[in-house]
Amino acid sequence: MSSIQPSEKMRTRDVIAAAKKRERFGKLVPHILLVVTSLTVLATLGIVYTLLKETFIFFTHINVSDFVFGTEWAPFSNGSPAFGVLPLLIGTLKIALVALLIAVPVGLACAIFLSEYASPKVKKIIKPIIELLAGIPTIVYGFFALTFVTPFLQTLIPSLKLFNALSAGIVVGIMILPMIVSLSEDALSAVPATFREGAYALGSTRFETAIKVVIPAAVSGIASSIILAASRAVGETMIVSLAAGSTPAFNLDLTGSIQTMTSYIVQVATGDAGYGTTIYYSIYAVGFMLFLFTFLMNRTALYVKTKFREDY
């Protein structure tokens, strides 16, 4: 018996030492984790800082008002390069509008069908397909637009160019569809069943219940999903780069080649504009505008969702 005692004492001491070590380590852990977590803040700061810094240099080359209000975008012109951003904005707007015209009606119809009409069985089939649609890379959509949608539309509209805003916009619409469907469906499903039961008890049909009771109750979530989808359409790059061309156009024509903010950045990046040239800095100015637009839209979506949410 006596021969065991010293080693038992050792064990107790070891246990205490280990516990103390654990405690010291335990105190250190949150600090280490906080540092790692703060890296995400560093990423945002990095984005804002690089965009602002290079944009600032760009504005030492080009007048701010010439950039914001200029109607000609011709950075590669040898004689008189022009950096008026409005053609790029119009191009971006065309894509976003066509996309929303496709995605909002179809997306909402699909969301209402899923939440108000579909049986659980049908829901179980359609929802994974929508998830699948959401997981397809945009490069695939871009290829789809260029090789399938454009030739098909050309049989309907013979004057349609190979690169055009219409087919790119339609495919961007298909790309943002899953977002509108799943976010709106979430909002509709969150409306309590008692609302529907009340409407049914008063003799409403399912359509009347959906239009007059459920949708008004879910309108903040639906509006926020549309704004988020619009922001996604504004930031979409690969579909427009492949299918919409790279000709800045200051008009309202949908059948011709255009250029968006994103596809301009891609055009410069694939070419060889030297470091330090005005063209090099211009992609940051355009990128900053893009960042600003999407940031404001995302914030608005969040604001609409929380501010106008009805709590049941």
Estimate to the nearest angstrom the gap between the alpha carbon of 57 and the chain centroid: 28
Q: Return the number of the residue (217 or 286) whose C-beta is nearest other proteins.
A: 286
The rounded distance, in Å, linking the Cα atoms of 176 and 232 is 7
Per residue, the 3-state secondary structure of 264-312, as one string, reads HHHHHHHCCCCCCCHHHHHHHHHHHHHHHHHHHHHHHHHHHHHHCCCCC
Query: What are the E-state strand segments in the chain?
Result: 73-74, 82-83
Q: Does 51 bind other proteins (CB under 8 A)?
A: yes
Which residue stretch of 1-9, 41-49, 67-75, 216-224 sits at the interface with other proteins (rule: CB under 8 A)?
Answer: 41-49
The answer to whether residue 185 forms part of the interface with other proteins (CB under 8 A) is no
CA triple 195-201-202, angle to 5 deg: 95
Binding to other proteins by CB under 8 A, coded x per residue (else -) over 90-109, reads ---------------xx--x
| Residue 215 C-alpha from the chain's centroid | 24
Question: Closest approach of Cβ 92 to other proteins, in Å?
Answer: 11
Q: What is the signed CA dihedral for 240, 246, 251, 256, rounded to 10 degrees?
A: -80
Q: What is the dihedral of CA 290, 292, 295, 298, to 10 degrees?
A: -70
Site size for other proteins (CB under 8 A) = 82
Reference 221, options 188, 193, 253; nearest CA is: 188
Q: Are 72 and 82 in contact (CB under 8 A)?
A: yes
Least separation, in Å, of the C-beta of 6 and other proteins? 25
Q: How far apart are CA 304 and CA 292, in angstroms?
A: 18
Q: Which of the ranges 25-33, 60-68, 75-83, 188-196 carries the binding residues for other proteins, by CB under 8 A?
A: 25-33
Q: Which stretch binds other proteins (CB under 8 A): 66-74, 191-199, 294-302, 303-311?
A: 294-302
Using rule CB under 8 A, residue 303 touches other proteins? no
Residue from 33, 52, 101, 202 binding other proteins (CB under 8 A): 33
Site for other proteins in 229-248 (CB under 8 A): 231, 234-238, 241-242
Cβ distance to other proteins smaller for residue 148 or 308: 148
With contact defined as beta carbons under 8 Å apart, do 126 and 203 qualify?
Answer: no
The answer for residues whose C-beta is within 8 angstroms of residue 309's C-beta and 6 or more apart is 220, 221
| Residues within window 114-153 making contact with other proteins, judged by CB under 8 A | 114, 116-118, 126, 129-130, 132-133, 135-140, 142-144, 146-148
CB of 166 to other proteins, least distance (A): 17
Structure tokens at 101: 């015209």
Taking the least distance from each CB to other proteins, the nearer of 185 and 249 is 185
- 205 touching other proteins, by CB under 8 A: yes
Binding mask 253-282 for other proteins (x = CB under 8 A): ---------x--xx--xx----x-------
